[in-house]
A and B are shown apart, each in its own frame.
Chain A
Amino acid sequence: MTVAIGLLITFLGFLLSLFSLSLTTSVGTRMAMVLAGIALSLIGIVGVVNRAYLKNAIWKR
Chain B
Amino acid sequence: MLKRLIPVFLLTAALWGQAATPAAAPATPPPAPVAITDADIKGIEAPKPELRAKGDPDGALTGTVSDVAVVDAKKGLTVGDIANQVGQNKIAINFVWTLIAGFLVMFMQAGFAVVETGLCRAKNANHTMMMNFMVYAVGMLAFWMIGFALQMGGVGAVGNLGGSPVLNSEFTVTLFGKAFGLFGQNGYFLMHNGTYDVTVMVIFLFQMVFMDTALTIVTGSAAERWKFAAFLVSSFILGAFIYPLFANWAWGGGWLANLGANFGLGKGYADFAGSGVVHSVGGLTALALAIIVGPRIGKFDRNGRPHAMPGHDIVLVLTGCFILAFGWFGFNPGSTLGASGSGNLRIGSVAVNTMLAGMGGAFTSMLYMWLRYGKPDSSMSGNGLLAGLVAITAPCGFVNPVGSVIIGLIAGVLVCVSVEFVERVMKIDDPVGAISVHGVNGMFGVIAVGLFADGKSNYGGSWNGVPGSVTGLFYGDASQLVAQLIGVSTLLGVVFTVAFAANVLIDVVVGQRVAAKAELQGLDLPEVGALGYPEFELKS
- Point out residues on A near B: beta carbons under 8 Å: 3, 7, 10-18, 20-22, 25, 27-28, 30-31, 34-35, 37-38, 41-42, 45-46, 49-50, 53-54, 57-60
B295 pairs with A27, CB closer than 8 A = no
Residue of B with least CB distance to A51: B426
B481 pairs with A31, CB closer than 8 A = yes
A17 pairs with B489, CB closer than 8 A = yes
A53 pairs with B176, CB closer than 8 A = no
| Among A11, A14, A58, A60, contact of B297 (Cβ-Cβ < 8 Å) | A58
A25 pairs with B264, CB closer than 8 A = yes
In the bound complex, CA of A54 to CA of B300 (Å): 12
| Among B479, B488, B493, contact of A15 (Cβ-Cβ < 8 Å) | B493
Residue of B with least CB distance to A53: B291
Chain B residues whose C-beta falls within 8 Å of the C-beta of A31 in the assembled complex: 478, 481-482, 485
A59 pairs with B489, CB closer than 8 A = no
B83 at interface, CB cutoff 8 A: no
A7 pairs with B482, CB closer than 8 A = no
For the residues of B in contact with A, the DSSP-based class is helix
22 intermolecular pairs with C-beta atoms under 8 Å apart: A10-B497, A13-B489, A13-B492, A14-B497, A21-B259, A28-B478, A30-B482, A31-B485, A34-B485, A38-B488, A38-B489, A41-B489, A41-B493, A41-B496, A49-B291, A50-B428, A53-B294, A54-B427, A57-B295, A57-B300, A58-B294, A59-B302
A7 pairs with B485, CB closer than 8 A = no
Min C-beta distance of A56 to chain B, whole Å: 9
- Point out residues on B near A: beta carbons under 8 Å: 175-176, 259, 263-265, 287, 291-292, 294-295, 297, 299-302, 304, 425-428, 478-479, 481-482, 485-486, 488-490, 492-494, 496-497, 500-501, 504
A14 pairs with B263, CB closer than 8 A = no
For the residues of A in contact with B, the DSSP-based class is helix
Min C-beta distance of B284 to chain A, whole Å: 9
Chain B residues whose C-beta falls within 8 Å of the C-beta of A12 in the assembled complex: 493
Min C-beta distance of B332 to chain A, whole Å: 26
Most buried by A among B478, B479, B497, B500: B497
Chain A residues whose C-beta falls within 8 Å of the C-beta of B427 in the assembled complex: 54, 57
Known contacts A14-B493, A28-B478; can you find 18 more A-B pairs with CB under 8 A? A11-B497, A13-B493, A14-B492, A14-B494, A14-B497, A17-B485, A18-B489, A30-B265, A34-B489, A37-B489, A38-B488, A46-B426, A49-B291, A49-B500, A50-B291, A58-B297, A59-B295, A60-B302
A14 pairs with B485, CB closer than 8 A = no
Q: A21-B176, A31-B485, A45-B287 are in contact. Are A58 and B493 (CB under 8 A)?
A: no
Chain B residues whose C-beta falls within 8 Å of the C-beta of A14 in the assembled complex: 489-490, 492-494, 497
